[in-house]
Structure 1
Amino acid sequence: MDQETAKKLLVEGGTFVFLGVPQETQFGIDMQCWNTEEDFRGIKMIPPGLHYVHYSAVSKETGDISPRSGFMHYFDKKEFVVKMWDKKLEDISKDEISEESIQRLKDNLLNIDKHLAPYPYEIWQKWKQLSSQITAELAQKLSPLNGLIRASVDLLPMRFTEIPKEKYPPGSTPGEITKHYLDQTYSLDLMIAQHDEPLHIIGELQFTYLCFLIGHSLEAFEHWKNLVILLCSCDKAILKYRNVYFNFIKTIETQIDEMPGDFLADIVMNKNVIYKKLRYFFRTVFVNKKKIDGQLLSLIVRFIENLTQKLKWDFTGLNDYEEDEKPVLVLFDDFVAIDEHCILSL
């Protein structure tokens, strides 16, 4: 990094001291990961803001790597955080570090400084894009109760916002049910109502993606995918929550750029639900383009161009249905279901 940035981070950056970590443990912060050396003591010069600290124990006998664990923490300027490794648990210690012990480490900082790795500043800009809407409060709300994010859902599940099972208000007529299946703004309204502000739904989209990308949580990936599907399945919400959709486009574009190769290959080769829902979303946007804010529309057009160039996706003929998108009529006693979702009165 340049001299000015280095000086600023030396003065304002946070410090994470991790004591007793065995050699060759996998340890990382945000999108960077290392195998620790014998004299490793933590990370210094951490830019103020939200960060994801993660680790995996490595067996000395077999070299097997345990599932990844970690936590999100909002580092204030000059914040000094200390954690201990528990050798029996092969995990971060649950014991609190006393203020006296923390102060002794601060007083001895000059001696331990050489054992602290500098924050990998080259990832900082990308990290800010991936986590821009995750506040400290939102990260705490969505994390498991003990704060630790695990790759295995069996250990402790996440506390993600529940996506409504019923996509329409109680007492809806068949015609109203059809409308709410075609435009799922009602479901999005219910989810946003569970947050302190609308943009927190994008914060949750970012949080779940990072728990998948960094925390290796397939549960988080499923929730991320369901959030993308919901956001792409709305009509009125695009106008109602302009700022949400502006940040949705910026966020998912960055996320697709960082998507692991095997997952991205599945999306590209099989044109899976993410491609299909984005296609549906773009179709909705262009049908309503005269009503949509010009800046948002320009952002969406650029996103389509980038997807076409990067992934070779074809978004021409958005008004035409692909073979597996064509409506299917399913007869019931009193109703007709289109695509097994949209219900119309006979």
Structure 2
Amino acid sequence: MASNSLDMDPDVARNLFAEGATLVLLGVPRGTELGIDCKTWQVGPKFRGVKMIPPGLHFLHYSSVNSPSCGTEIGPKTGLFLKLKPREILLANWDAKEEDLDFSASKNEEEVSKIRANLQELDPHLGPYPYDVMRKWVSLTDRLNDEVANKLQPLSGRICAFSDVIPELQLTHTKDRAEQPRNDKACESMREGLDRLPKMKQREGTELRFSDIPKKTYPPGATPAEITQCSMDHSYALDLVLEKYYQAQPLNLLGELQFAFVCFLIGNVYEGFEHWKRLLALLCRSEEAMKKHKDLYLGLIAVLYHQLGEIPPDFFVDIVSQNNFLTSTLQDFFQFASGPGVNSTLRKRAEKFKAHLTKKFRWDFDADLDDCAPVVVELPEGFTVN
């Protein structure tokens, strides 16, 4: 890990030195890719941790590396959110067997006291927090607090780029395995081969705990006309999510949107991207909700402004513009935001955001609106929809 090469304001440096937290990470193998928030380094032989960390919520992430004799290969990324207090010292040791950081030493007050007493000697081996990306990190997480992060983080405490999966059917004894049907006949198709593979499930405790977004956007017993209306306006489904998960603090839903985005952008977790898409579609396609939750939608515009500013332009070509997801979703948002009953401040903010995206990405949000409108279908009397 390189020394601090940025020109930090002297007053900021003094404040961070006095009030900043310290991550002491012992035994991390040389060559490991390790980062905090929006910055990543390759660990050198003298690395012992990170100092001068601003108090607050941070995302520590790392990828283990093979031993040099096996050829250098970087493993999948692992990350975790940490809430750090002023002057806090958090101690972790590298577990070579698990290829993970073990924070249990932080619970040993005697060990932490020793580290604090020897902090001056350890200081040359501690890299400074990357102050140059602090503004970016704050803009990506200003709606995310530690309460929401802890609620969404897996029970294992680790966010992994690759899911930890195990067979659904645990065959621990030879007799059990022998009784399973065998088929030595060659597979005639890839589908047949996949069907023969053991069914897998995610290991309990490793799942991200995102809010469940209703698959049905309409209430039970809805008429065909109501189903059509709720398919165009997802406010009913959004209200269900807010009532179940964020009744006391609706704006914390934006924290979940930021959590999912950070998991994908920094943690390389594709599930985070999928949830971000679903949550964004729910918010952008809830016309009546825009009239009731002005602050939620003003916050959404600010969150999206910073998120879309951090994604490389070619990313949209590769992923986001697949099936025109983002442009079509935002097209609905801007159409609803310009409708009657929407707060004037929200309408003006949406217009400015639309102009910004049109200029930056050259997206046309006004094209073919009529062609995208859903078709309303009235069923004959006596027919019902399950």
* Aligned residue in 2 for 1:321: 369
Whole-angstrom CA distance in 2 between matches of 1:258 and 1:336: 49
Residue 260 of structure 1: how far off its partner (Å): 4.2
Unaligned ranges ≥5, structure 1: 338-342
What's the C-alpha RMSD, in Å, of the aligned pairs? Answer: 2.2
Residue of structure 1 equivalent to 2:73: 64
CA distance change for structure 1 residues 326 and 16 in 2, over 3 Å: closer, same or farther?
same
Contact between 1:19 and 1:41, CA under 8 Å: does it hold in 2? yes
How far off is 1:96 after superposition?
Answer: 4.0
The match for 1:23 is 30
Is residue 2:115 matched to residue 1:108? no
More deviation, 73-82/260-269: 260-269
Alpha-carbon displacement from aligned partner over 1:143-172 (angstroms, at most 9, x marks no partner):
000211111123522000000122122222
Report the Cα distance in structure 1 between the residues aligned to 2:111 and 2:292, rounded to whole angstroms.
52
Unaligned runs of 5+ in 2: 1-7, 166-205
- Note the C-alpha offset of 1:322: 6.2
Q: C-alpha displacement at 1:316, in angstroms?
A: 3.4
Q: In the alignment, is the contact (CA less than 8 A) between 2:105 and 2:111 conserved in 1?
A: no
The residue identity in structure 2 corresponding to 1:110 is: Q
Shift of 1:200: 1.0
Instruction: Give me the whole-angstrom Cα distance separating, in 2, the residues matched to 1:230 and 1:124.
Output: 30
Q: 2:60 aligns with which of 53, 62, 70?
A: 53
**Separation in structure 2 between the aligned mates of residue 8 and residue 197 of structure 1, nearest angstrom:** 32
Q: Where does residue 74 of structure 1 map in the other structure?
A: 83
1:340 is matched with which residue?
none
Aligned residues of 1:329 and 1:336 also touching (Cα < 8 A): no
Deviations 1:103-132 (A, max 9, x none): 100100000011111111111111111101
Identity rate, percent: 40
Question: Normalized against structure 1, the TM-score is what?
Answer: 0.90
Q: Taking structure 1 as reference, are residues 335 and 200 closer, same or farther at Cα in structure 2, changes over 3 Å only?
A: farther
Are the equivalent residues in 2 in contact too, given 1:45–1:118 (CA < 8 A)?
yes
- AA partner of residue 136 (structure 2): K
- For residue 243 of structure 1, give the secondary structure of its aligned residue in structure 2: helix
- Describe the shift of the 1:270–1:87 C-alpha distance in structure 2 as closer, same or farther (beyond 3 A): closer
2:162 to 152, 155, 172: 152
Query: Normalising to structure 2: TM-score of the pair?
Result: 0.81
Are the equivalent residues in 2 in contact too, given 1:267–1:275 (CA < 8 A)?
Answer: no
Select between 65-74 and 155-164 the one with higher mean Cα deviation.
155-164
> 1:93 is aligned with what amino acid?
D
Change in Cα spacing, 1:113 to 1:307, as seen in structure 2 (3 Å) is: same
Q: Does 1:220 align with 2:220?
A: no
Corresponding residue pairs, total: 333
Preserved CA contact (<8 Å) 1:55 1:70: yes
Q: What is the 5 A alignment of 1:203-214? A: 203-214=255-266
